Homo-oligomer: A and B are copies of this chain.
Amino acid sequence: MSRVFDINGVKIGGGNFVLIAGPCTVESEAQIREIAERVKESGAGILRGGAYKGRTSPHDYQGMGEEGIRLLLQARKTVGMPVVTEIVSADHLPQFDDVDIIQVGARNMQNFELLKALGRTDKFILLKRGMSNTLRELLLSAEYITGEGNDKVILCERGIRTFETSTRFTLDLSSAAALREMTDLPVVVDPSHAAGRASLVEPMALAAAATGVDGIMIEVHNDPANALCDSAQALTPDQFDSVARKIRKIREVVIG
């Protein structure tokens, strides 16, 4: 069983399960607040929202940056739930002072200088597995953080790169079960990015819950068709509510 982390009142690990939900990116004050309220009503414990985005193409939308963090923190205060958002450069660390969990994206999993800088903070770190990194490499990257003195690392499976092209990435759910035998750090699954389309998010989220993982992170948008980022894979608040109910029931089956 994994260890327990208390993230400003929300427990994860050691039998405590958490739903993390929110938009791919923060787009406006109204957008993030409305989504935050809706996902909280549906049982989400932590709010996600991107401000700095690491995009494969320099021509893609790169996020609101510092202003996005400000709006996310405002929603955090209004709605009352811890937040997670991604960092792309250690130089931005001062902007993350009030953020509860700092996310390291898949493409930065082996940006060792960033990991070491995060290891010198006292923040919770959500470390995403690189798209082609083994579990052993993921754990070694976690050691770059813990080795500097910060052991508050949460691991996240978000899909690996394979030959298959009918899904965006291949969600490697057995990694969740295999990691449980290799580490006591909490493990979270992000089914949204791997699926790449909303119709696959529910089945993969339920499957993740069935593996006994410590948390699931789902992209939710109040207006998916007009989302500025990854619109194809976002669930509506109503869809999220339905998935969240099923996840809770599956959790009951799994923990017996």
Contact = CB atoms under 8 A, between A and B. Distances in A.
A112 B57 CA distance: 9
A250 B210 contact: yes
A54 interface: yes
Interface string A41-57: 00000000000001111
Interface string A166-204: 110011111111100110000000000011000110011
A71 interface: no
A66 interface: no
Nearest to A162: B162
A204 B211 contact: yes
Contact of A173 (B58, B132, B207, B249): B207
A175 B204 CA distance: 10
A11 interface: no
Nearest to A182: B166
A57 B140 contact: yes
Interface in A113-170: 113-114, 130-132, 134-137, 140, 143-144, 147, 160-167, 170
A34 B195 CA distance: 42
A182 B200 CA distance: 13
A125 to B, nearest CB: 15
Given A210-B209, A254-B246, A170 B160 contact: yes
A107 interface: yes
A83 interface: no
Q: 7 tightest A-B contacts by CB?
A: A132-B132, A107-B110, A206-B210, A207-B207, A89-B113, A210-B210, A177-B203
18 contacts: A56-B137, A57-B140, A57-B143, A108-B110, A130-B132, A132-B161, A134-B166, A160-B162, A160-B163, A161-B163, A165-B165, A167-B175, A174-B194, A176-B203, A177-B200, A207-B208, A246-B256, A249-B253
